[in-house]
Structure 1
Amino acid sequence: MGLKRFRSGRYIIRVFSFLLTLMFVLLIGSQSFGSPPKLTKTEILWDTYGVPHIYAKDNQSAFQSFGWAQMQSHGNLLLQLYGQARGRAAEYWGDEYLESDKWVQTVGVPERSHSWYLAQSREFRGYLDAFAAGINAYAQEHKDLIADEVEIVLPVKGEDVLAHQMRVLNFTFIVNPEQVADVSQKETQAGSNGWAIAPSHTENGHAMLLANPHLPWSDLFVWYEAQITAPGIDAYGATLVGIPVLAIAFNDNLGWTHTVNTLDGWDAYELKLANNGYRFDGQVRPFETKTLSLKVKQKNGALLSEKLLVRSSVHGPVISRKDGKTVALRVVGLDKPRVLEQWWDMARSQNLTQFQTVLKRLQLPMFTVMYADREGHIMHLFNGQVPIRQKGDFEYWQGLIPGDTSKTLWTKTHPYEDLPRVIDPKSGWLQNTNDPPWTTTFPQVLDPDNYPSYMAPRGPIYFRAQRSLRMLTEDDKISLAEMISNKQSTRMELADRLLDDLIPAIRNYKSELANRCADVLSAWDRQANADSRGAVLFASWADAIDLDSVFSKPWSENSPFTTPDGLANPQSAVTTLLTVAAKVEKAYGSLDVAWGDVFRLQSGDIDLPANGGDGYLGIFRVLNFAPLSDGRFKSVAGDSYVAAIEFSQPVKAMTLNSYGNATQPGSPYVGDQLKLLARKQLRQVWRSRQDILKHLAERKAF
């Protein structure tokens, strides 16, 4: 009896000890898997790279703090963007913004932002108001740090946040005004790289994610890096200035990135005019019209009014074109007002099932979603609102569409289940570099024949995508360090495809200049590193030729990664090269001028040699340049926010925000990361409070 009692007692002790251990594990797990401990106060901890780490007692405080933080880092830019989203920028700052106002007002951004605001859930509407309150509070407390000319936008309201979001997503990314309207805004250089690598393809058996958007380095395309910790969320990532939630992010369990996908989310309908209306299904319909009054600030400060007549057909607003045709514009997503809430809930998700449940809302009108998680799952979703069309392939819908029949008028979009999607492929990896979804992995999993022909183009697969695919297939086991090294690759796939034909053709020309060109290109490492010699000559030649006709073997769907190839007309190619070579030598003093001597990273007093170049050259490390007055070039777009994430325990992450995490004059974080960019380096992400405090630059308590 005593022995039984002893054994029973020992058993109870073991069970009790096990339960205590289990409770401890669950407690620790809950804290590291997206449920941080409840906080009693709210504060922003700024690290030495100007990244705000927000610790909020509740979600409303998190949004308010994020508004405050964005104002401290980007106040002038944010208010200017909100003023433009209101369609009142010309009233605030003069006639140089009049075309922008006409575009924003014609497509209905200010008016629709009010209905979108009312369509939010009561809870999320409160979050938008809190974000606006944070903006206003900062401006009130720091009037001396905000430019006088942008203060007129204050106070900001929740509707302004939605108007800005709509202008960015629906009327810049989906359809740029330059594509359809007689305005001066240039078409955006929007692109991205994204990788998701499964444990089977990594060195240490943890899934990895590469986030690498390529956007212009100014205006509404500026990325802002941050960490947000509040009840139910502990996410790190980046968003575009003025957006109140993270758009690319990761937590302890999962992460995602976006690339600009080959989605056609807008159409231009050519209208046939008749009797002050337009023909539709055999009848003449009247336009819906309204007259708006736009105010324009004059140089003397006076305001003049200009009338704007807005006409709409059954398709959408009527846009004037340079060719004089009357065109109506139809854009997806205008009935999907809860994009921001979807992004917020994506960051709060803890596994693939939860994440997909959020994605199925399809509030986000476009962008590939590239996903990886701690459990080892990877996913590529061709995300977006794809119109259900009755006829035509992708190419057909790129042109003007007949607007006189309901047969071409789409009214619905495809559900989530219809969209191209790959989860956990046997290859162990997924990639997208703005190419169609069919080559997200290899061997191919997605068959374009299984989808409507208008869903996405079948090809071609351009050289940056081919470079991406090559790097992923050539290495069976990729480490985090190797993924980062590959991300920084400046090798020109175009050079690998053409130099084997071009160099012999140059040597056959038998001239002194031709011989020197051949010597330079033969010695060149085929990269665009700062010290690469020959890259300037080759890139200048590539700019001067017609890439659509230069190849002897065109791109083939049957050989997607080895075509196009070969020179169609070697003699013409050499003639063009010699003309270009003379210009290069005259401009820079030598044919083998170093890439970094010509292409620069500049911000304020910073002037550094660049590496990387345009994606059409087949460079994975994309930088786009604009000419300077001295014949050199300055980076203005391309690699911006970069994050390389390994879902180990704890998560390992490296990041960079190329141009720095601030634009506000006087901030020490303007351009401070260009030195890392020049050295091809990323920075360590500080996510734990302990690490953040070790690198603390400033603290703000609320």
Structure 2
Amino acid sequence: MARKRFRVRPPMVVTTAVVVMSTLAAAGTAATGSAAAEPGPDKPTIRYTEYGIPHIIASDWDGLGTGYGYAAAKDNICTLADTYLMVNAQRSRYLGPDGRTSPGQNQNSTSNLNSDLYFQRIKDNGVVERLLAKPAPDGPEPQVEEAIGGYVKGYNRYLAETGVDNLTDSACRGAAWVRPITELDVYRHAHAEIIMGSADVLLDGQVTAVPPGASAAASKTALPKSAPKSASRKTSPARTAAKIRDALAASRQQGMGSNALAVGSQGVSGGTSMLLANPHFPWQGKNRMWQSQLTIPGKVNVSGASLLGLPAVNIGHNDDVAWSHTVATVAPFGLFDVQVDPLNPTKYLVDGAWKQMTSQQIVVDVLQADGTLGKVSRTLWSTQYGPITTSILGYPLPWVVSAHAVRDVNMDNLRALNTWFRLDQAKDVHEVVDTLETTQGVPFFNTVASDRKGNALYADIQAVPNVTDEHAASCLTETGKLLFNQTLPLANVPPVTILDGKRSACDWPSDPNAVAPGLLDPHKQPRLIRSDFAGNANDSPWLANPEQPLTYPRIMGGMGTPRSLRTQELILTAQKRINGTDGLPGRGFTPDSMGKLLFSDNSRAADLALNATVSMCQSVAFGLILVDGTLVNVSEACPILAAWKSHDFTVDSPGSLLFANYWSFLQGSQGVEKLPWKVPFDPKDPVHTPNSLDSGSSAVRDAFGRAVIALRKAGMPLNASLPDFQKVARGSEQIPIHGAPGKLGVLNVIDAGQVDGKLDVVFGSSFIQQVRFTADGPPEAYSVLAYSQSANPKSPHYADQTKLFSGSRWVTSRFTEEQIAASPVLETKVLD
């Protein structure tokens, strides 16, 4: 039977009463993983346990989505409504053109206007509607459609019952932009998350691209404010490649990331396998994660977290498998260098013939200073490869002799929804691999998983541009070769391609084994199943386990290249615990040891460089270092660092802030292998090299002097502890936060900064979960959502888990019906 074409359903408003109970009577029971499971309750039912975690049970996908939508809206309706405003290109209409689309630093903080122009183009082109009209796997599978239909009902029900004017969160109470939603809103949100890996990098460059000779007014908007003053000056291929690489490296250091470690049967004590999930996602905005358990007896029983507003578990566990994702080193986009006609720069050369670019007029509504609505119109340009862009992460790509077109591997991807719904039901890591291969929906992530059978999996199987090594050799431009084939590429910088657009044969070819045109054959993508461990900390796939280095097409990342300090720390943590050489009792991971090792906040940078730094400090004449012509007295700093023997970034660690500032000045945005080491990187010993910092290096002295200056200028003592700087405000309370930036080689990554004028965490450990399987019995899981379930300051779950995280404590997960029923704070809502 042919699949029905997608229709946008009108918002459904439900006004029936909600029954609030303190017992499980109406919820039914769910025999997890059992063919004899009793049917679910007649009505979607939400059971709240400690810390406001909802356990949602229903008899079908529609009911499950309804419960999810209701509970998610109750906790975070303002964040969700703001997201729907963004994907519908209406931020400028309601909030003005100049605001930012994301709070905090280092997120995609483009202007409301640029964001609206980008998403309006997607709307005008009917991108999401076209995907919804396709059969699976390109379009959503029936279970996805049913769950999203239910989600819309649940969200709209909560809004109707509460009323916009009665919302407790002042961030959107009474706002005209808070409205009932449709299924199309949810799919647009999902699509926005899937293309995030390209949009965050190239959005501004696409919506501000103007051809040479455009009006002066248009030219002023052609480049982001962060672009260099020399933007229009022609640069060499080597300089362009280096600048793009530097921009990508800086973005990776300051943006989203993750650690994930799967431990197999040989590495676990008292079980068959374990998984540590530790994503480093934003603490504010649309990329917040939200925790839940979703159950349809006999069909699915999964617990974990999702990106807020997507009614599935993205990172979590079911009865047999636990999995997580980490940001991968695949660039989900490619650039095409197209030669333009100097007399008519909107014409470009392909296969010896001139072609006219496609122009598209994009119009958005804009709230003006006097409160009236106006319109902004902009002409955007495209080629057969995709839209023209004139910058990448703020670095200019001038439209002069040639222009750069973008092809986004995920622009035609809604398959990720099918991927996550299937992962929620996987029975072992082999089913995980099969799901990844047959959907190719993962947008820019690695997958790390463990199963009850004792397997540990690493897989980088995702939507990847089909640029094989042979295709790259044939089609890369001179700049593209330098960018793609660097001698020592950073381990975590994606190899961006710039292909020759003058030849249509250089477009991404279609592979018969791939799910969609232009995708790399999933069987060529790396995967590893072991019984000891496999993991990833945002480096390329090469060293998921150093005992079995992986090979793969260059498009997926470097091989034989230096690893980040965080990757070294992850591997060493696994090896020492399995061998029993880390100072903790016994051998093999347990939930207790895994939690202690993560929250020890040990710094690999300090392990490698602290002693040499102290020696340098103690050896400088008269305790004085010359910095920019000024003598800086560092003698007070020497004993502080010498006493910092723990090498950690816990909340009570004097000296850690001084070392963090020093390391930031020393490393900057360059790779760790560029620092003044006496022993260079050796691909035969990638976990332990480079090492032995050169204490006599002028770079070491200069960075240390600058760190002392920085702390004194900030009015902070040199022996300040982490909470003096790294804390979050929750109401009138200041909560100290442990952890450190990833460049320090700390697994528990925390990037602090300014958010709306206050100290807060911008990126970092978000939903942390560890799961242990045994041969039989339910999985044993512990979790903590670092920023808590709700962004609403009036919610009782606005800061409760944040305090747990501050104290390095965990929530003992309730997974079985018996465990849920035993919660002393159980509250049940039946959506009748």
Q: Is 1:287 the equivalent of 2:365?
A: no
Of 93, 109, 113, the match for 1:98: 113
Aligned to 2:155: 135
Give distance in 2, aligned partners of 1:132 and 1:559. Answer: 53
Aligned to 1:11: none
Compared CA separation, residues 164 and 328, structure 1 to 2 (3 A) = same
User: Would the aligned equivalents of 2:127 and 2:412 in 1 still touch at CA under 8 Å?
Assistant: no
**Counterpart secondary structure, 2:472:** coil
Q: Which moved more, 1:180-189 or 1:272-281?
A: 180-189
Compared CA separation, residues 387 and 573, structure 1 to 2 (3 A) = same
Q: Cα distance, 1:514 vs. partner?
A: 4.0
Q: Is 1:302 the equivalent of 2:372?
A: yes
Of 179, 186, 208, the match for 1:161: 186
User: Would the aligned equivalents of 1:660 and 1:671 in 2 still touch at CA under 8 Å?
Assistant: yes
Of 758, 761, 772, the match for 1:635: 761
Aligned to 1:419: 525
Compared CA separation, residues 158 and 629, structure 1 to 2 (3 A) = closer
Q: How does 1:56-455 map to 2 (within 5 A)?
A: 56-96=58-98, 97-106=112-121, 111-119=126-134, 120-122=140-142, 124-143=144-163, 144-145=166-167, 147-148=172-173, 150-152=175-177, 154-172=179-197, 176-177=201-202, 180-181=205-206, 182-183=223-224, 189-231=255-297, 232-274=299-341, 275=344, 276-321=346-391, 322-325=396-399, 326-360=403-437, 361-389=439-467, 390-392=471-473, 395-396=484-485, 397-398=495-496, 400-411=498-509, 412-425=518-531, 428-446=532-550, 448=551, 451-455=552-556
Aligned to 1:472: 574
Give distance in 2, aligned partners of 1:353 and 1:522. Answer: 50
Aligned to 2:558: 457
Aligned to 2:214: none
Give distance in 2, aligned partners of 1:159 and 1:628. Answer: 31
Q: Is 1:537 the equivalent of 2:631?
A: no
Q: Which moved more, 1:31-40 or 1:281-290?
A: 31-40
**Counterpart secondary structure, 2:462:** coil
**Counterpart secondary structure, 2:688:** coil
**Counterpart secondary structure, 1:102:** helix
Q: Which moved more, 1:633-642 or 1:247-256?
A: 633-642
* Letter of the 1:117 counterpart: L
Aligned to 2:770: 644
* Letter of the 2:739 counterpart: G
Compared CA separation, residues 177 and 70, structure 1 to 2 (3 A) = farther
Q: Cα distance, 1:63 vs. partner?
A: 0.8
Q: Which moved more, 1:619-628 or 1:362-371?
A: 619-628
Aligned to 1:21: none
* Letter of the 2:62 counterpart: Q
Compared CA separation, residues 340 and 629, structure 1 to 2 (3 A) = closer
Percent identity between the aligned chains?
A: 22
Q: Is 1:40 the equivalent of 2:41?
A: yes
* Letter of the 2:521 counterpart: P
Deviations 1:312-347 (A, max 9, x none): 211112234345323211111333323212211211
Structure 2: runs of 5+ lacking an equivalent: 1-28, 99-111, 135-139, 207-222, 227-249, 474-480, 486-494, 510-517, 579-587, 624-632
User: Would the aligned equivalents of 2:144 and 2:418 in 1 still touch at CA under 8 Å?
Assistant: yes
* Letter of the 1:154 counterpart: R
Give distance in 2, aligned partners of 1:501 and 1:148. Answer: 55
Q: Is 1:551 the equivalent of 2:676?
A: yes
Of 743, 749, 762, the match for 1:616: 743
**Counterpart secondary structure, 1:137:** helix
Q: Cα distance, 1:30 vs. partner?
A: 6.0
TM-score by length of 2: 0.76
Aligned to 1:20: none
Compared CA separation, residues 327 and 159, structure 1 to 2 (3 A) = same
Compared CA separation, residues 455 and 84, structure 1 to 2 (3 A) = same
Compared CA separation, residues 576 and 152, structure 1 to 2 (3 A) = closer
TM-score by length of 1: 0.89
Q: Which moved more, 1:265-274 or 1:361-370?
A: 265-274
Aligned to 2:605: 494
Compared CA separation, residues 118 and 664, structure 1 to 2 (3 A) = farther
Q: Cα distance, 1:62 vs. partner?
A: 0.4
Q: Cα distance, 1:542 vs. partner?
A: 1.2
Q: Cα distance, 1:309 vs. partner?
A: 2.0
Give distance in 2, aligned partners of 1:207 and 1:600. Answer: 35
**Counterpart secondary structure, 1:487:** helix
Give distance in 2, aligned partners of 1:677 and 1:173. Answer: 32
CA-based RMSD of the aligned residues comes to 2.6
Give distance in 2, aligned partners of 1:469 and 1:179. Answer: 38
Q: Cα distance, 1:652 vs. partner?
A: 0.7
Compared CA separation, residues 629 and 88, structure 1 to 2 (3 A) = closer
* Letter of the 2:725 counterpart: V
Give distance in 1, aligned partners of 2:141 and 2:300. Answer: 19
Compared CA separation, residues 121 and 404, structure 1 to 2 (3 A) = same
Give distance in 1, aligned partners of 2:596 and 2:384. Answer: 52
Compared CA separation, residues 36 and 312, structure 1 to 2 (3 A) = farther
Structure 1: runs of 5+ lacking an equivalent: 1-27
